[in-house]
Amino acid sequence: MSKPKCWQDVPPGTIAWGASARDVETGLWRSMRPILDRNKCISCLKCWLQCPDASIETDGEGKVNGINMFFCKGCGVCDKVCPVGAISMHPEADFSSECRKRGEDPGRVADHVR
Amino acid sequence: MAGINLKELTNRQSPLTEGHRMCPGCGAPTAVRQGLMAVEDPVVIVGATGCFEVSTTVYPYSAWRVPYMHIAFENAGAGVSGVAAAHKVLSRKGAVKDNIKFAAVGGDGGTYDIGLQSLSGALERGHDFTYICYNNQGYMNTGAQRSSATPANASATTSPAGSVIPGKLERAKDLTEIVAAHDIPYVAQTTLHDPMDVIRKVKRAVETPGPAFVNILVPCPLFWKIDPANQVKVCKLAADSRFWPIYEVIDGRHVLSYDPKDPVPLKDFLMVQGRYSHLFKKGKERTDLIEQGQADVDREWEKLLKKCSGWTG
């Protein structure tokens, strides 16, 4: 079955495409943004294990690579479980002027992995 | 822990994807993600109605990489036994060659209350499946009503604390022991205090031939009225206060998997949650109810230790 283009293409009673929720930008819910300090991070993977939204990105060798802002809902669990304080939470509003300067809509994040 | 390499797990695709619409800081996706992380065989998921079902399959999206069947509140046990039985027949006829595992996921409403008879039937018939109950101690999808998993004195919308009653009057029922009484190969109880414990227990449950059951206590930030970021801390308090004992029942033998070195009083677990705030009102502290709760916890813990004595893991 090919991927449906619009809702009329989806057969009644079923969801045609597995993992399609990956198109949903749950990051738009976020009010607090986690910032990862790569110099402090020891890649213990505690945040990766505990993230309810699977938003901690790894590089294929078990090292933490960044936080996926497309999906991160900003719950702050990663900040609390981090044993070395490498993640800090900041109000999303602090980033709006920075986003505008780059010509982005402050509510959206263009470069998803930071 | 032997056999599980976290670095290797990071390269594996989780059956549950990102982009599901569970609340920020909800414990249910964490529990299911951690649990299915180390399962190597392909799985088929049967989801009972509940938060987790409505939020992972919002039409027309699905947050599952694996086949998923939505089933009603009362028949997740019957649904998963049907799928497992179909697989057994097709394997016998040679139509299916893969070793496929079957898991049902339900909340406490769909497991403790509404789905209990179909679960009991499936356990008794001995189908090869795993039932994962994410227990947030109430009906969260419909607005924090009490369920039979809600502990005593918790304020829920259908047992609100006020001048008449101090929250729910009844104790929670012990479903893990009810399931263990079916004498099935594997029963476990855990919470999000230690990810390796969840990973190990669900992996073992899925790999055990025959029925298996895992009861995972997960916080609901809206009902428990906690800061979503404190998910792990609250679960740790649940385990350390012995409110939620961490143990497993392997072939009828009780084995304690976590014995808190420095047990904390039940009060510490209750105090961090807004649903118990009426017990701690200045000048109107309900020390009698807190002491009663502590006595219940101590009694249950003694009972569990007696069951565990004589067996080693």
Q: How confident is the model at residue A111 (pLDDT cuts 50, 70, 90)?
A: very low
CB contact under 8 A, A49 and B6: yes
Write the residue in A19, A21, A60 that is nearest to B11 by C-beta: A60
Chain A partners within 8 Å of B17 (Cβ)? 19, 21-22, 54
Query: Is residue A1 situated within a structural domain?
Result: no
Q: Region A66-76: what's the mean pLDDT?
A: 94
- H helices of chain B, in order, are 6-9, 27-37, 51-56, 76-92, 108, 116-125, 175-180, 195-207, 221-224, 231-240, 266-271, 287-308
Query: Is residue B91 situated within a structural domain?
Result: yes
Q: What tokens does A97 get?
A: 């002027």
* Residue B16, pLDDT score: 95
- A62–chain B Cβ distance below 8 A for any pair: yes
CB contact under 8 A, B18 and A48: no
What is the number of domains present in chain B? 1
Query: Is residue B1 situated within a structural domain?
Result: no
Query: Is residue A37 situated within a structural domain?
Result: yes
The partner residues of B102 in beta bridges, in order of sequence, read B44
Q: What tokens does A65 get?
A: 């690579």
Share of chain A above pLDDT 90, in %: 54
Tokens 């070395």 sit at which residue?
A: A84
Q: Is the pLDDT of residue A113 over 50?
A: no
What is the number of domains present in chain A? 1
Share of chain A above pLDDT 70, in %: 81
Domain enclosing residue A60, as ranges: 30-114
Report in angstroms the alpha-carbon separations of B154 from B148, B192, B223, B225: 12, 20, 9, 11
Write the residue in B29, B62, B64 that is nearest to A52 by C-beta: B29
Query: Is residue A92 situated within a structural domain?
Result: yes
Q: Which residue of A has its CA nearest to B12?
A: A60
Among residues 128-147 of chain B, which lie with CB inside 8 Å of chain A? none
Q: How many residues does chain A have?
A: 114
Q: How far apart are CA B35 and CA B25, in angstroms?
A: 17
* Residue A13, pLDDT score: 67
| CATH number of the domain residue B233 falls in | 3.40.50.970
Q: How far apart are CA B307 and CA B313, in angstroms?
A: 13
CB contact under 8 A, A21 and B60: no
pLDDT digits (tens, 9 = 90+) for A2-58: 666 777 777 776 666 788 899 888 988 899 999 999 999 999 999 999 999 999 999
In terms of C-beta density within 10 A (0-12 exposed, 13-18 middle, 19 or more buried), how is residue B160 classed? middle
Q: Is the pLDDT of residue A95 over 50?
A: yes
CA nearest to B166, candidates B300, B294, B293:
B293
Query: Is residue A100 situated within a structural domain?
Result: yes
Q: How confident is the model at residue A98 (pLDDT cuts 50, 70, 90)?
A: confident
- A17–chain B Cβ distance below 8 A for any pair: yes
3-state secondary structure of B124: helix
Q: What is the mean pLDDT of each run of 10 residues along chain B (313 residues)?
A: 80 93 95 95 95 90 92 95 96 94 96 96 97 96 94 96 95 96 97 96 96 97 96 96 97 94 96 96 94 96 90 54
Query: Is residue A112 situated within a structural domain?
Result: yes
Smallest Cα distance from B24 to chain A, Å: 5
Among residues 23-52 of chain B, which lie with CB inside 8 Å of chain A? 23-30, 33-34
Give CA angle at B114 (B266, B245), nearest 5°. Answer: 25
Domain enclosing residue B74, as ranges: 6-308
Write the residue in B18, B62, B231 that is nearest to A53 by C-beta: B18
Q: Which residue of B has its CA nearest to A53?
A: B18
Q: Is the pLDDT of residue A106 over 80?
A: no
Q: Is the pLDDT of residue A112 over 60?
A: no
Query: Is residue A111 situated within a structural domain?
Result: yes
| CATH number of the domain residue A105 falls in | 3.30.70.20
